[in-house]
Structure 1
Amino acid sequence: MAEQEAIAAAREERIGLVVGFLGIATGLFDFLRREGPHDPAEIASRTGLDSGYVKELCRAGFAFGYLEEEAGRFCLAAEAGLAGTGKGSSFLLAAIEAVFAPSVALRLLPLFRTGVRPGPGALIDPELLPWFGRFLEEQHASLFEEEILPATALFAELAEEEGLVLDLGCGNGWLLRRLLRHLPRWRGIGIDREAARLAEGREAAREEELDGRIEWIEADLLSWSGPEKARLVVVSRVVHHLWEDRRKLFALLDRITRSDGAIFVWEPCWPEDLVSLRKPARRSLAFQNLHEYAQGARLLSAEELIGAVEEAGWRAEADFFAGGAELVVAGRRK
């Protein structure tokens, strides 16, 4: 009986998170946070949504405790913890994860028969794509700010200087923006091939009053070149996607980094032995590696990544985080 109750509770939690995601993604929760209690017809009129769907979503939100109702009008429930569904919300991360993994699984399923590896981005539902940058930000930002940043000697040294930092494959620039908060005299350039993610980064930089210090460039990483070499180049969660072209990547890093410059490489770390995947901190790596395979990539071991950095002419300083699931390598010229 206890096992059945636990299964039922887990199922209810998953469904509740899906309802929560719909409340966030449709803008319903944000509207009610700004405007206060409204009935579904008023919400639909003000947001441009269909009134029938809004009515049913309000009912579902009420059922799972996100909303309260009085006289047909709905408002956010104070105890639901939704005040933080904007920036820095763990609820947002959990809600996106609740729909992201099943969505990826459904796209993976036919590939087991065809053997096709459709490449980067093919497994992400277009409806989820606008949320993917925020998903990565919520997933990794606190680890960077609370553990990686204070533990990395390179960043402490650079805080005493001023210069240019390049972020290759920056996405929405969450890492670059946090670095520039820590390095107040520095400028940044974020480079990515996804225009929508760059637009998200520009908006976030404006909100954080960093827009005057960051330039955003839409370009292919391996072919990009700029007029000014950087004191620091950041490559976060990109190398495993470019592993087959790693010689080109490290040649680019050599060209765009100053003679006294450094690189900072951050990658999920594939364990050397299969048994390590049973550790709670590393279990999710196995599912990630499955969908990386479909994208024509795979996660890298510490030996592979550190070896590649050193082979390219950098002196590697490596640290593990998140129970060994994350690896950062600071590279200084030899």
Structure 2
Amino acid sequence: MRATDRESYDRLYRSTSAVWSGRANRQLVDEADGLPPGRALDAGCGEGGDALWLAERGWRVTAVDFSRVALERAAAGARARGLADRVEWVHADLDRWAPPAGRFDLVTAHYLHASWSDRAGVFRRLAAAVAPGGTLLVVGHQHGAAWEHGHQHAHDPDVLHRAEDVAAVLDPAEWEGVVTETRERDPEATARTGNPVPDTVLVARRSAAQ
């Protein structure tokens, strides 16, 4: 199954009771664990593992996904963990949805592997949502690799991106400490999904003086 749009992702989520592990992604934990909690945007939140991890640590989270099936599952998880009042679930397509500019202390997006009509535009809107002094974290699977992993789910290399693609939309005058790296994938995630492809990671801090 190649999930590239809302309908195919809905089918993917309906195919099993849980597509993902429910744990927060490793790069989010590494980058956000020391940040003071504030307002966070989780773009492409899926079943909500990252959003719930942030909420448990005091963040107010806006979590967005275009799969209603995934959002319903994520919201149920929030209720079960007593976090319903800390997460706002938004059903929207990032290809068209624009988050409020300058609103969030952390904007995080992991594995946005859909067929966006304007991927650079998606990255620009996410970057614009970061408040002065806030952090942008965008993580993907390394560009140019093809594989299949759990739940008969495969990624088309054409929908992947590089950290440098995200960095290219950032105005150097507005950002500092921009890091683009290839990092080893979480070994537990590799073992569970059969996907050994490294992560491509963009981390940047918006300048406090804007």
Query: What TM-score do the two structures reach when normalised by structure 1?
Result: 0.48
Aligned partners of 2:166 and 2:202 also within 8 Å: no
Summarize the Cα distance change of 1:220–1:121 in structure 2 as closer, same or farther, 3 Å threshold. Answer: closer
Give the Cα–Cα distance (whole angstroms) in 1 for the partners of residues 120 and 160 of structure 2. 17
Structure 1 residue 224, shift from structure 2 partner: 3.1
SS at match of 2:53: helix
Decide which of 29, 34, 42 is 1:157's aligned counterpart: 34
Summarize the Cα distance change of 1:316–1:218 in structure 2 as closer, same or farther, 3 Å threshold. Answer: same
- Larger relative contact order (Cα-Cα within 8 Å, sequence gap ≥ 6): 2
The letter for the 2-side match of 1:205 is A
1:4 maps to which residue?
A: none
Give the Cα–Cα distance (whole angstroms) in 2 for the partners of residues 131 and 331 of structure 1. 36
2:114 paired with 1:241: yes
2:134 paired with 1:261: yes
Decide which of 39, 55, 58 is 1:185's aligned counterpart: 58
Summarize the Cα distance change of 1:141–1:244 in structure 2 as closer, same or farther, 3 Å threshold. Answer: same
The letter for the 2-side match of 1:316 is V
SS at match of 1:157: coil
Structure 1 residue 231, shift from structure 2 partner: 0.5
1:217 maps to which residue?
A: 90
Aligned-pair identity (%): 22
Aligned partners of 1:292 and 1:298 also within 8 Å: yes
Summarize the Cα distance change of 1:156–1:291 in structure 2 as closer, same or farther, 3 Å threshold. Answer: closer
Matches within 5 A, 1:103-122: 104=1, 120=5
2:208 paired with 1:329: no
Aligned partners of 2:130 and 2:206 also within 8 Å: no
2:70 paired with 1:197: yes
1:64 maps to which residue?
A: none
Give per-residue Cα distances to partners, 1:92-121, cap 9 Å, x unaligned: xxxxxxxxxxxx3xxx8xxxxxxxxx9525
Aligned partners of 1:191 and 1:218 also within 8 Å: yes
2:147 maps to which residue?
A: 287
The letter for the 1-side match of 2:5 is P
Structure 1 residue 245, shift from structure 2 partner: 1.3
Summarize the Cα distance change of 1:324–1:207 in structure 2 as closer, same or farther, 3 Å threshold. Answer: same
Summarize the Cα distance change of 1:243–1:316 in structure 2 as closer, same or farther, 3 Å threshold. Answer: farther
Decide which of 84, 105, 130 is 1:231's aligned counterpart: 105
Give the Cα–Cα distance (whole angstroms) in 2 for the partners of residues 224 and 307 of structure 1. 19
Give the Cα–Cα distance (whole angstroms) in 2 for the partners of residues 122 and 267 of structure 1. 21
1:169 maps to which residue?
A: 44
Greater share of residues in helix: 1
Matches within 5 A, 1:60-79: none
Give the Cα–Cα distance (whole angstroms) in 2 for the partners of residues 197 and 249 of structure 1. 20
SS at match of 2:140: strand
SS at match of 1:176: helix
1:148 maps to which residue?
A: 27
Count of aligned pairs: 188
SS at match of 1:223: coil
SS at match of 1:241: coil
SS at match of 1:178: helix
Note the residue ranges of structure 1 that are not aligned, 5 or more in a row.
Answer: 1-103, 109-117, 272-284
Summarize the Cα distance change of 1:259–1:188 in structure 2 as closer, same or farther, 3 Å threshold. Answer: same
Summarize the Cα distance change of 1:212–1:120 in structure 2 as closer, same or farther, 3 Å threshold. Answer: same
Give per-residue Cα distances to partners, 1:290-320, cap 9 Å, x unaligned: 9543xx94323xxx42243254234422350
Note the residue ranges of structure 2 that are not aligned, 5 or more in a row.
Answer: 186-195
Structure 1 residue 122, shift from structure 2 partner: 6.2
Query: What TM-score do the two structures reach when normalised by structure 2?
Result: 0.72
Task: Indicate the larger mover: 204-213 or 307-316.
Answer: 307-316
Task: Indicate the larger mover: 172-181 or 315-324.
Answer: 315-324
Runs of at least 4 residues off by over 6 Å = none
Give per-residue Cα distances to partners, 1:261-305, cap 9 Å, x unaligned: 11111111136xxxxxxxxxxxxx522499543xx94323xxx42
Superposed CA RMSD? 3.3
1:320 maps to which residue?
A: 183
